[in-house]
Structure 1
């Protein structure tokens, strides 16, 4: 099971899932599996979310939205999917939060979407510190609990998996993305190389040039960037764990003092060869038509996890503001493990605000409009 976190606001997340329930093709329509709102109605739900926001008006990221994706071999009932969604939320600390769970049918694999407010009914907030790491740990536990196929964690996976855009592009064009081609070329070089010098030469033969993040004073290397002949750029972490410098140096015969000069010369050669490309990427320049240059655009796509071959998908995602678990906006700092966030929230409670807000909300919804089942499921914990 793979969890992919989406970074956007509650309204956009809710509308995305709800609109999937209204698709023209019945086979593609999403299905609501569970929720604990007072009533499953957009206006009522937004009122409920708004009063929660009043408890934490300065909280910018008040939403947690994730898709849970299962292997093709996994056969799960709707009840099992629902319980997995609830178990996942509980494991992430959402034990007293407004939530909804949908099953989507717009992909070949089984998957559900889980949406929750980070703001609890007592005014406290679910921490988003180390979200990605905690999420993977919970997925491994749920795989064991429900007997579903075990998926390697991001730390164990050698290659970063293709994105949905890349898979769709392969189906449409029969061609691999720039990133996937680079993975194969670097992997081939790595399989034949014994030393760092061998690796540099073999990569160059395969049309891939290297820039090492090397300290001028000590010669110490802390990272690596790959550039293809046609100008596609990717850092090691964008390709997968085996392409990161930390792992490369463990698989190659590397000595800092011996290889310092070779690495320095490689950096100078690559920077000279791609000087215009690197300058454009750094400056974000525009061409004569006022359009961002292709090379500069590749820098942006690479940093966001997109492939330059799939320009339509790139544009569609920009327009929708929808980002996957492996794709993050520049508002969030990427770590070595990609989407792991390291933001801690020191929280306090706001009981009196909750009581007045709940009263206001219930006053705006007539008794016969409230979903009785949802109300029974909702048992807010209010501090006295």
Structure 2
């Protein structure tokens, strides 16, 4: 019976002229006779045997479904999910996280949402992704209109997906009283639609915050020396959005101590690269020890090139330092060659400029560099 329902729903959703909201009830009614309440219906067993939950998951989920006496609505929801293309594992994960999804009415809630999303140009695969990621939000009447707004704001479904993977709470925020006023305020701060989209992809919960919180975020961005309308304002807002003034002050003190910078110098560094405020103290300490003690850079040099603090120590800073050091000590590179210039270029450009020209005299250089990038630091780079 479940496979029959799945087949019917699949045909319904595959038809470009179909209207799930208007026809789904009729099809499900035709697919199965009415089921009388079954007083012996065991929710926990159903969750394990039919939905694929583990016993502990089923025990926890059944507490939210204890009022149910029949599997009929559950079966319809499972058929609906199968018709969208969700795998058994996807369904089990969805039900474990949101057991009450099984209580949703297919014809009254789920099918109209699918019809609305299809009208926005989303494929069945896209919609299946949304079900898995948004869970209970998918059951809200405002889901389609909210999603339409965010699709327009972010530019594409592909841009929306990474944000959804970090959490879907923003989809339940009220557009008229919360989201749109926040967007309007960000525009007043000098951010264009492209900047707002990039900011939201990184800090999407920002738009779901009340307007007073967003005002406070903007004030903190200006307090670290980045005025509204400046090129760095989006980056500053991203960095301080969910940091308190106390945490910002503590991070500034840590930067001063770790890199031996004055108040004025650390202020310039933070205003030029606000993202340093998002780095952990441990990470900053490790980079300080490496750049100052191992590479031999002066604190003032690092302050003039704060982007060094944004690159990965293991994947970029250390492996490239080994290559540059090897080339200089081997007389293959001018000793005055600037380390920062070797770090800032792309991986492709680095290989072309620092690896490829020396393949004949240092045939193992590419191999040793690759090993260093994997964390397998060789005792020394080899000529032969």
TM-score bracket for this pair, using the shorter chain length = under 0.3
Higher Cα Rg: structure 1 or 2? 2
Q: More strand per residue: 1 or 2?
A: 1
Instruction: Give 1 or 2: higher helix fraction.
Output: 2
TM-score w.r.t. structure 1 length?
0.26
Structure with larger RCO (C-alpha < 8 A, sep 6+): 1
